[in-house]
Chain A
Amino acid sequence: MTVPNPVVGARPISSVRLPGLAVLLVLASAIVMAALVLLPLLVVFHDAFAKGIGKYLDAIRDPDAVSAMKLTLLVAAIAVPLNAAFGIAAAWCIAKFEFRGKGALLTLIDLPFSMSPVVSGLVWVLLFGAQGWFGTWLIDHDIKIIFATTGLVLATILVTFPFVARELIPLMQDQGSDEEAAALTLGAGGFTTFWRITLPNIRWALLYGVLLCNARAMGEFGAVSVVSGHIRGLTTTLPLHVEVLYNDYDFVGAFAAASLLASLGLITLVLKTGLEWRHAGELAANRRH
């Protein structure tokens, strides 16, 4: 990141002597951010500890909360690696080869980003719900997808589908394939070439994509809410646990669970910002989100 050249009326100014307009604008920005964005974060932690640290610890040690955390970790542990593997495969064929239909493929990969999370859950119910296309067959064979972990995983995969692919594709397109071609002509095999040349070139972008994918996977609410059925201790992920408690007027419990998710968001934000500062050149970071 380059330090921008401070300009007011095209005159460089020092950070100490900000003229009137600049002070006004900086102040206005700070107020907007504090009231609109920072306040919700503070409220989460404030309300979580509103009845003291003891009640907070009780809330996050509650068996339902613990099983919600485990389920959230399990769902992310399945969804994120699958989407990462897909992202690498998609980026390899799109960035390294020229073929017809590439534009359509890119549009399809981006599609889940512009769908409502609720629709991303709905589509699985249409397929596997009791009255879905495969509903009767699944009941006959005693397989549960909706209102079970499989449904949560499918909904999460769909919502987080593009994250890794979208980070990798523009970067690998920029990098071209000269280095891989050189390795191949020197006698390296395809796998060696990928492992020794491509992977090191894309590792930071891959990490960045996985980070964003994981944060969304663990924090997803709308899509999993549709397929979960909200069975306490069984199909409630952490965000759904927050909802259940909140609707029961257990606000300390809800905000305690929310504070864990907020911490996850904060850690992600810190790691992401760190990556952007240190490895800006290897991230294609101007195409964020």
Chain B
Amino acid sequence: MPNFIDIARGVLLEPAGLQDKDLNHVLDQLLSYSIDAADIYFQAGRIESWVLEDGIIKEGAYNIEQGAGIRAISGEKTGFAYTDELQLPALLEAGKTARAIARAGEQKRIKISNASTPTERLYQPINPLNSLTEQEKVDLLRQVDAEARRQDPRVKQVIVSLVAAHDVVLVANTEGTLNADVRPLVRLSVSVIAEQGDRREQGSGGGGARDAFSYLIDQDRALGFARDAVKQALVNLEAEDAPAGTMTVVLGSGWPGVLLHEAIGHGLEGDFNRKGTSAFSGRMGEKVAAPGCTVVDNGTLPGRRGSLNMDDEGTPTQNTVLIEDGILKAYMQDNMNARLMGGLSTGNGRRESYAHLPMPRMTNTYMLPGKYDPQEIISSVDKGLYAVNFGGGQVDITSGKFVFSASEAYLIENGKITRPVKGATLIGDGPEVLTRVSMVGNDLQLDQGVGVCGKEGQSLPVGVGQPTLRVDELTVGGTNT
């Protein structure tokens, strides 16, 4: 099997007649200015999507995204330009624009060489777009639609979407390294509306991986997502108004890990901490969570949506312990912020595309399991909320306040799950919330693979996860006082 660099050369450089000496030329030109570091990021991306609605294959779309971004860094300054033409003159022009961030200086020369190709492959360098025929793709959508409708006659509307992406990236930098990655990604999402009398409620399900479409078919995963969506909609048809106020909240395992992503994940990204704008700034070594809470950002899980063989600066991803037994241990870093803070990149330098600047971003962020049986956790609560599914969240990293919105939740009364309640937004304080975790379940689960994280206008696939958690006090934004 050819290695990633050979594949990337074949896709990105050879069609344009570009050779390693041309990349050296562009980087030399950048280094003739007083620049600390510079890189070129080549990308060829293909995305295909299909949508089923009203029982018919309504839409299909194919997208080509291709270009190169050139970045020059001098101290805390960054110059950036990009081009969608993968030709030497366009690259030299973009380089000239990017290096204007610094003054002209002495001439240096560099020679790029292959970095060690990652030996542990987290995913195969396949093109998932070709992993099923078009007919098989639309058949899969129809099966998912039928599965959802078969669950219950109250299901009135089903929308299913299927997306596959194939990204080939190559990074060359002024350290002289050249590295590449070939990244497959598939996702299936189901959204349903159920109707009872004049009440309508929605439910959603979905999942995916860095894999071929076969991932969705194996173990009937896609059909399972349809059943999840229907179950959620039917539960919501029975839901009463959610309570309002501060109470004990039990968060289910898996996707509710979006709590960690919002409450602490963003606040531990290196750029905010270098600038001192995060509520976690200067708190390294301090207690920020209850004993027993260990949180990691792990980009090395095979096949996961948030995993990468290398980040977008060519650094291999790693498993970084952010919080160990309640103590803050590490920030997530890219090259620039690591250098300015006197450390090393943790392989978290990511970018949406060649037309965006990299910055520290999460991969798969989750809490390690504890000792409690989930049932034991629920039984321990007299009166509270049990939230098992969530939509999106948001955080103000400076004040530390974060929100995330439940899409499926139940009341806990006298240690038992009783009635479903309507979705509500939960709000808390990032540096404080994990200190209120009093029980950590033994049932760690990662999400199904649909997470998208936004930061400064850039969207990226990520993963989250956690075991069942009991949080002693969290504010629940219902209407029932």
Question: Are A and B subunits of one complex?
Answer: no
A interface with B by C-beta (< 8 Å):
none
B interface with A by C-beta (< 8 Å):
none
